[in-house]
Structure 1
Amino acid sequence: MNARSRWIDLDGAVNVRDLGGLPTSDGRTTRRGRVLRSDNLQDLTVTDIRTLLDDYELKNVIDLRSDAEVRLEGPGPLTRTPSITLHHLSLFSEGGRHTDVAADTVDVDKVLPWQNRPDAETENDRSIGHYLGYLRDRADSIVAALRVMTRTDGSALVHCAAGKDRTGVVCALALDVAGVTREAIVADYAQTGERIEAVLGRLRSSDTYAADLDSRPADSHLPHAAIMEKFLTRIDEEHGGALAWLTANGWTEEDAAALRARLLD
């Protein structure tokens, strides 16, 4: 990782960065090398894995993709790394646990179940609707993901396909609990925009994602800061903030203390 940047340059993933170095409202900063965020890890090279193991002591991977995505993409190289524990925590409703037949199919529109919205709705509102859907449908996965981040056996890495939406929501909630400023949380979310072309290029090379990407307006893929700002405002207005929402879904004071101890200097 460049000392002046939080980006982590790997050959097999393009949207990888460290959640360290972010300011909190009480003047502290988040620790580097504790929680990383990324796009899909299917193409990691041997050198990439070595970097994650040696430089970041990677121990836990939080995979937010759907069951269908994992089946279609196949096992990634980290599944063959004994020292790493994979935690599959989908943010979509899944067949067998929730009543969602979409999870039992392999159609692309079911792998990434973008809801049909009125034409008058903006792309930003569409994204916010998806994000609120994660909270509504898979609070269990979000709480579990944040608890993995509290583990002290090396770093944790959270990812989905692009490392933008599902990963962005989970990271934003974790950073909010840690006390990171709203401005910094939003900026971290928007930072994916610096590499969005490379992210989309990777996804278009996969049959799992190509049709879905090409069916949507180009601007809909950009992580506009206003999306995260409005999403967090909706949580404030409807739930009393991220911590209150988490608490209502089983998160405890001990969990919050452990996450802060893990992430903060």
Structure 2
Amino acid sequence: MNENIMINNILPLTGAVNFRDMGGIQTADGRTIKKGLLFRAAALTDLTADDIVQISALNLKRIFDYRRFEEANRQPDPILESVINERISVMDEENVINNIFVNNQFDQQYYRKFTRAHFLKIYTEMPINNPSYKRLMNFLKKPKENLPLVHHCTGGRDRTGVGAMIIQMTLGVPFETIMEDYLFSNHALENYHNKIFHKTAAFFNETEHKEFRESFLLQEDYLLASKQAIEQKYGNFDYYLEKEFQITEQVRNEIQEVVLA
């Protein structure tokens, strides 16, 4: 996948990071995801007036929020004219980003749990029997009614990364391309990550902090854990689509007819 596509897909917003168009990416059969239909993003709380003008031009129909109640309550999504806001949490547990800038009560023991093993565990759990992704895919089943849509979490990387993977696999994007797009969040969030690393430095010695930084950055193994969890439970992605989301081959073809060019 051409990195220029990913760079060009980033909306130049002041108050939100990692807000990108999911279009322009090729599928295995040579078609391309249409631009202007599917977007992914980090938190939208701090959108400026100019940002809102840009986003209003997208003619979004839905903002779909993966965050927990406490997370979303602290940093609520903006209410935009003619846009339906909906939130269904991907996971119940508190995560490191939720508290990184708003709470100083957590010590090294709290941050120590965000290890490679922890991320592998949550990525393995996220795609299976998840009401949030079931709602997302209900929207995708009726693209003419529900798109354009933006789906997002706090950083637009983990929960949004798995949601994007499910959408992209449904559309027939090769997994290698999906992985490139997923890892691109490390680039798009570089400054964001550095703020987190600066904040957490006080809780670790140098060796421990290096391990934390390495674990916290997105890794191929994390998204691969989601894909493998799907395959281990369902055998293949087609069966997963049918059983988890009631997306048959016919429905999948109908989605692709609208979303691909």
Q: TM (normalized to structure 2)?
A: 0.78
| Aligned residues between the structures | 236
Aligned to 1:96: none
Q: How many angstroms does 1:25 deviate by? A: 1.1
Aligned to 1:34: 37
Q: How many angstroms does 1:127 deviate by? A: 1.8
Q: How does 1:159-198 map to 2 (within 5 A)?
A: 159-198=152-191
Distance 1:108 1:91 in 2: 17
Structure 1 residues 255 and 131, CA gap change in structure 2 (3 angstroms):
farther
Distance 1:26 1:17 in 2: 23
Q: Is the aligned partner of 1:145 residue 2:141?
A: no
**Secondary structure at the residue paired with 1:29?**
coil
Aligned to 1:232: 227
Q: Is the 8 A contact 1:14 1:198 kept in 2?
A: no
Q: Is the aligned partner of 1:90 residue 2:97?
A: no
Structure 1 residues 197 and 180, CA gap change in structure 2 (3 angstroms):
same
**Secondary structure at the residue paired with 2:50?**
helix
Gaps spanning 5+ residues in structure 1: where? 94-101
Structure 1 residues 134 and 202, CA gap change in structure 2 (3 angstroms):
same
Q: How many angstroms does 1:203 deviate by? A: 6.6
Q: Is the 8 A contact 2:91 2:126 kept in 1?
A: yes
Q: TM (normalized to structure 1)?
A: 0.77
Q: How does 1:202-221 map to 2 (within 5 A)?
A: 217-221=212-216
**Secondary structure at the residue paired with 1:152?**
helix
1:63 is aligned, of 62, 65, 84, to: 65
Q: Is the 8 A contact 1:147 1:259 kept in 2?
A: no
Flag as ranges the 4+ runs of structure 1 deviating above 6 A.
Answer: 202-205, 213-216
Aligned to 1:261: 257
Distance 1:50 1:177 in 2: 31
Percent of aligned pairs sharing the same letter: 23
Q: Is the 8 A contact 1:196 1:222 kept in 2?
A: no
Gaps spanning 5+ residues in structure 2: where? 104-109
